[in-house]
Amino acid sequence: MPLNELARSIPIPPEKDSMLGRLMALLVNQGIFVQSEAGYQLTPASELLQTEGSNMGANVRLVTDAEVLKIWGRLSEVLKESGERSLFEKVFDGKKLWEFAKEKPEYGKLFDEAMANQSNSVMRGLIASYPHIFDGLNNLVDVGGGTGTAVKFIAEAFPRLRCTVFDLPHVIAKVLKSESFDVAGGDMFEMIPPADAIFLKNVLHDWNDEDCVRILKRCKEAIESNNNGGKVIVVDIIIGFESNDPKATETSLLFDIAMMGLFGSKERNKQEWHDIIIRAGYSDYKICPVQLGVYSVIELYP
């Protein structure tokens, strides 16, 4: 697409075309676009940022939201003060991100879209490369399952496995009802419905170690009360785990900083995962031989 067509499609006034051209020059240099005689074209990186379809566009808009970006200007203040308040809580008068998203429907919708897009890619990879993790299970509860994207993938791939998406009541209210899975509202810190397996994808990195131990204890109670053996399946980042890819390590570390700012939480290395699993009372666990981009899979046994 030529520059003038790109400018009109945005749209911006003609006198700003040169400014857009300068921005595009930088983006071409960074590999976001390519430029030819015919104009600008997408690269694999920019294809991921399109608003249509399942991609990472919503995820980028989520972390570059103008209001949310304010938190990074207060980093030095939070580093110097005692206490465990996150940057987000510091800037937004004690509010957590969940409360912010609930009060601002547009941001809440963007958050749901971003989580769904992330689930699309991760769940496709998990089911294609490690389907036997679901072998022998009769029922599964996806804790913190949001609008149900992950459960939909599991239920479609394993129709005999009865799945439930479990989240806060106001989140569950957004889930489209389906015959292939159930929905349940509640607080994972209080009680989790019994099941053969508890599924935790991108949940524990939102919480500090103490809260993670509490969540994992509730998961353990849920599978023990089902009296059928059972396990907890965790899909999350393990920093530095069997990665020879500098970009994967960089992405994990960037996620870690994002968790620090948004939630006062963190991504964890192998030892840190070991510590919270053992503290929660599990007898054994294993890190599965599968890598889903920057994500790993851990099975926990009560």
Q: Which residues are catalytic?
A: 205
54, 121 Cβ separation under 8 angstroms: yes
Residue owning tokens 């939630």? 263
Q: Which candidate, 5, 71, 61, 67, places its Cα nearest to that of 259?
A: 71
Give dist(CA 34, CA 129) in Å, integer.
Answer: 33
Please say whether the beta carbons of 209 and 275 come within 8 A: yes
Q: Dihedral of CA 253/70/55/150: which sign?
A: positive
How many of the other CB atoms lie within 10 Å of CB of 180? 14
What residues contact residue 85 under an 8 Å CB cut-off, 6+ apart?
78, 94, 264
